Amino acid sequence: MDTCNEYWEQALTILEAQQNISALAFNLYIKPIVPISMSSNVFTVKVQYDFVKEIIERKFLNYIEEALLFINKGNQMSLKIITGNEQPETEENPEEIKPVQPVENNINFRMPNGLMPRYTFDNFIVGTNNQMAHAAAVSVSKNPGTSYNPLFLYGGVGLGKTHLMHAIGNEVYKNNPNAKILYVSCETFTNEVILAIQKHENEQFRQKYRELDLLLLDDIQFISDKRATQEEFFFTFNDLWQNGKQIVITSDRHPSAIQNLTDRLMSRLAGGLPIDIGYPNLETSVAILRNKAETQGIKIEDEVLQYIAESVKSNIREMEGALTTVIAYSKLITNHNSVITLDIALSALKNTINSFKPEMSVEYIQNVVANYYNFTTEDLCSKKKTKDLALARQVAMYFSRKLLNSETLVSIGKKFGGKDHSTVMHAIELVGRKMEENPDFEVQVTDIEKLITGK
């Protein structure tokens, strides 16, 4: 299957192993690239910001095109990068463009009601961590509106809340294709509320929600601090609930830990007995990975799955990511049918596992800033004082202070090769002032902050 996504996955594997691209640069600039489409000689991708596009074109274009050349068996493809809201141009010869993935193969396919068919009970592995949540979800899907209402599932990132939520929706849909179901993220819900208020379309908004049989609201923790959305949700909730309609809600924390929730909404949310999903143990993690590999028809040794599960603890999404990397890498270097061994997995993952967990620290900030300005961290910590270098150093100091509460002027100075606290203070003032005076510099600093925080 030579789809655009598959090409890009292979390209990532090659680029990650490329000696001339540091793990940091890879994670900052290359990993976030999104493949869009490909024609016979143009590969189109998208990045969020113009400045990232510039950096990629300046530093990595050759490497990326080289990787594509290799994957495309020696046929050249040029890379076209679009940003933000730009739409891909229509090519002269539209039939040549291959879609990113045909719908039926696209695992991220969504139905109009927001449901993702790929998340079902069949491919949800039950372990001690999610047994209760699974049982409740099954029960709700069999008899919506009767047992747990609302069903409130909570737990850490990547532990299967969204999966279970879609599984309920898919099961209800299977049993009753006429049921009115809607999956909505809290973010979308909030946007709809705001838009309805702006356009004076509150009535249409309410109508849409009140006619549902099953409402699935994902990640409700984002409702904290949003009064209007809370109000609207409270009324929607009551309406559905009083009419015996099922409501399923997920959150990364217990209702009582969601800040600034109105009391009445809080008591509604907690009313249906919140159930938590915990961290999977090794056995469950391995079973999840095995299931995922098997559905793709991939042969993989058990010790590989164990290695992945042990190395990438506590987040199933990341575990799956590591497995995907191993599979893509193995396709690249071996015959497609051979079994994936631990050796293959080790080389596929040597750059990802344990080596890149950006923990916010002075060192990390120095790395990002140095990389941005084409210096090294040693330069930043040196006594050299060329104008450009001094500025880069000051920016790094500025962010060390701004983003790290535990660092003081003194401790920051020390980590920049033993500078005085007054030097750090001066740097912070200078960067602040320069940002006010010079809009271009301000943009630069904002860009760097996005790189550092990953937002």
30 contacts which partner out of Mg ion, ligand ADP, none, CB within 5 to 8 A by kind? none
Tell the smallest beta-carbon distance from residue 250 to Mg ion (Å): 6
Looking at the Cβ atoms of 166 and 419, the one nearer to Mg ion is: 166
Tell the smallest beta-carbon distance from residue 159 to Mg ion (Å): 9
Looking at the Cβ atoms of 274 and 413, the one nearer to ligand ADP is: 274
Site membership for ligand ADP, residue 317 (CB under 6 A): yes
Q: Give the count of beta carbons closer than 10 Å to the beta carbon of residue 354.
A: 10
288 contacts which partner out of Mg ion, ligand ADP, none, CB within 5 to 8 A by kind? ligand ADP
44 contacts which partner out of Mg ion, ligand ADP, none, CB within 5 to 8 A by kind? none
Q: With CB under 6 A, what is the number of residues at the site for ligand ADP? A: 16
Of the ranges 153-161, 178-186, 396-404, 413-421, which one interacts with Mg ion (CB under 5 A)?
A: 153-161
The C-alpha angle 220, 222, 227, rounded to 5 degrees, equals 95
Site membership for ligand ADP, residue 115 (CB under 6 A): no
CB 226 within 8 A of CB 190: yes
Site membership for ligand ADP, residue 395 (CB under 6 A): no
Site membership for ligand ADP, residue 159 (CB under 6 A): yes
Nearest residue (beta carbon) to Mg ion: 162
Site membership for ligand ADP, residue 163 (CB under 6 A): yes
Of the ranges 109-117, 120-128, 195-203, 331-339, which one interacts with ligand ADP (CB under 6 A)?
A: 120-128
Site membership for ligand ADP, residue 241 (CB under 6 A): no
Site membership for ligand ADP, residue 124 (CB under 6 A): yes
Site membership for ligand ADP, residue 312 (CB under 6 A): no
Site membership for ligand ADP, residue 158 (CB under 6 A): yes
Looking at the Cβ atoms of 212 and 319, the one nearer to ligand ADP is: 319
The 269-288 site mask, x for binding ligand ADP (CB under 6 A), equals -------------------x
159-178 binders of Mg ion (CB under 5 A): 161-162
The footprint of ligand ADP (CB under 6 A) covers: 119, 123-125, 130, 157-163, 288, 316-317, 320
The footprint of Mg ion (CB under 5 A) covers: 161-162
